[in-house]
Structure 1
């Protein structure tokens, strides 16, 4: 793959999650993750993590099935936005301009080859804390909530894809993402591919969808501050009857300390302490893992559980693999 060195995209900005249980899902994010509701429109509620500089982090929308709606990225400038739009249109997957959502400016809509809805914008409104959440330190967006999991920010998104290579190549070209790690199967195909926009080791991941259904979500991840926050989160979820799927443990790939749960609507949510690896080297070699290496399991030997390969949203029948 040709290296991409663009910094035209600043970061993953926000994600729309679909849920068939909107009230229960809202309780999960608002009460257990200590996120703040900033707006409600129709069947959607907009919530923000406590150190999010923009107005919102996730848009939670009532739907017949769980899954992912639109994922939005923020460009680093107006000029960068125009360059990315040109690259998307050249690939033939653009859908045109639309008004932005809560606090965001005009947004160019597009889809990846798998059909995942996406958007990119630059203009944004910064969150201004009020009396109830004004921070003691002026260099954070709002007051530390001091309850629940205290999710600080959105960390990354992992899509399920019918064709990992096609989707990864598209976003690398369209958004200038750079690859950090990947898994190559014995067949030569990629089972998963990790990409980043800046110094973080990953922001977007594509994983092979065994069902080949298309347009599905593997998970979104939030970052707390420490490993201890994730250990505490496991106890919080245990006490509140939230399904803990895997962890706490440490990934081999990108060395992330992790915990996976299913929120009440069925979407997989990860809590990731991902600061172990910063990619400071502008010529960072891509780390490739073989099928045999990945069969060894996670960093400390825990085997990857079966549902990690079969569960995604919307839920569809998984074929024998």
Structure 2
């Protein structure tokens, strides 16, 4: 098992969208992110309290989905130690130049085929005078519009076999599993893992289509439950589709709202509250089928689309066979 905390945190993601301009407007007008750069079919966006150059990259593509998830190592030494561990289990791809603001990045895949980038060198966000915050310990001024999203919180992948991905994160990257869904058959249908003292950073839930490499959602953290309630009204005014919520998850106790961005990717707005995993010997929580059948914390039943909608679709995934989605 890898040492804990050699991965500093979940850093940023590259999201695919077939409607780039509309997805950018969603991110700026609804989420409150700011565009900090663009190059060709790539647009870089920053959440107001992210210390790094950007939080999200949107990339024009024929379909929605996630191209790459980035993790920051805790040090240069930790980076190379984790690269050695990844290569030892045969999941490495190799080194590449980082995105703008980020240094050399090592690419690898999880057992399900989702691509990751691991780096250490990072450029801190430099804001101009127009968005300079009054508080010097804040990355940028508080946005006047949108939710606004403070930071990237977590990524939820769909996986063919969640337990294989869980074990890879634990054994190669030093993650801790905090909660799981365990079916009556003994199959693990969902895993929540963390690299930090947050209760979770990466989630794998079983892909009910039996496919690999798909995305369930990415999540952005809001400051309070009030921000999420306000987001419902903002979504109504802006024509943003609300899939489910606002409500409270039983697993991890997160207050949530799920929407779709114009490209088709599911986006969660969440207020994780004050739940931190401070115990180094945390006792993993397993949820049974019976417990999950009760629905969410306050009784809301999980809607059907939560189990069926993922990006890309099965048809789009089939069309990608034999191609490198992250670089095509």
Sort the TM-score into its range (normalised by shorter chain): over 0.9
Provide the rounded CA distance (Å) in 1 between the counterparts of 2:35 and 2:69. Answer: 19
Alignment check: 8 A CA contact 1:44 1:59 kept? yes
Give deviations 1:256-284, integer Å, cap 9, x for gaps: 00000001110000001012311111111
The aligned residue for residue 314 of structure 1 is: 312
Matched, 1:33 2:31: yes
Give deviations 1:92-147, integer Å, cap 9, x for gaps: 01011111111000000001111111110000000111111100000000100121
For residue 255 of structure 1, give the secondary structure of its aligned residue in structure 2: coil
What is the CA distance between 1:5 and its match in structure 2?
4.7
Q: Which residue of 270, 273, 281 corresponds with 2:271?
A: 273
Alignment check: 8 A CA contact 1:256 1:276 kept? no
The aligned residue for residue 160 of structure 1 is: 158
For residue 234 of structure 1, give the secondary structure of its aligned residue in structure 2: helix
What is the CA distance between 1:303 and its match in structure 2?
0.6
Q: Which residue of 220, 224, 235 corresponds with 1:222?
A: 220
Give deviations 1:205-242, integer Å, cap 9, x for gaps: 00000111211000000001000000000111111111
Provide the rounded CA distance (Å) in 2 between the counterparts of 1:115 and 1:215. Answer: 5
Q: Normalised by the size of structure 2, how large is the TM-score? A: 0.94
Quote the RMSD (CA, aligned, Å): 1.0
Alignment check: 8 A CA contact 2:224 2:273 kept? no
Aligned positions of 1:121-132 closer than 5 A: 121-132=119-130
Provide the rounded CA distance (Å) in 2 between the counterparts of 1:120 and 1:41. Answer: 22
For residue 105 of structure 1, give the secondary structure of its aligned residue in structure 2: coil
The aligned residue for residue 61 of structure 2 is: 63
Provide the rounded CA distance (Å) in 2 between the counterparts of 1:133 and 1:175. Answer: 36
Structure 2 alignment gaps of length 5 or more: 316-328
Alignment check: 8 A CA contact 1:200 1:275 kept? no
The aligned residue for residue 252 of structure 1 is: 250
Q: Which residue of 108, 115, 119 corresponds with 1:117?
A: 115
Give deviations 1:181-216, integer Å, cap 9, x for gaps: 000001101110000111100000000001112110
Q: Which residue of 285, 297, 300 corresponds with 2:298?
A: 300
Q: Normalised by the size of structure 1, how large is the TM-score? A: 0.96
The aligned residue for residue 187 of structure 2 is: 189
Alignment check: 8 A CA contact 1:255 1:276 kept? no
Aligned positions of 1:198-217 closer than 5 A: 198-217=196-215
Provide the rounded CA distance (Å) in 1 between the counterparts of 2:236 and 2:213. Answer: 31
Q: Which residue of 76, 86, 89 corresponds with 1:88?
A: 86
Matched, 1:15 2:13: yes
Provide the rounded CA distance (Å) in 2 between the counterparts of 1:212 and 1:235. Answer: 36
Structure 1 alignment gaps of length 5 or more: none
For residue 146 of structure 1, give the secondary structure of its aligned residue in structure 2: coil
Provide the rounded CA distance (Å) in 1 between the counterparts of 2:305 and 2:233. Answer: 21
Provide the rounded CA distance (Å) in 1 between the counterparts of 2:53 and 2:28. Answer: 15
Count residues with an aligned counterpart.
315
Provide the rounded CA distance (Å) in 2 between the counterparts of 1:62 and 1:213. Answer: 23
Give deviations 1:24-50, integer Å, cap 9, x for gaps: 101000111111111111111010100
The aligned residue for residue 136 of structure 2 is: 138
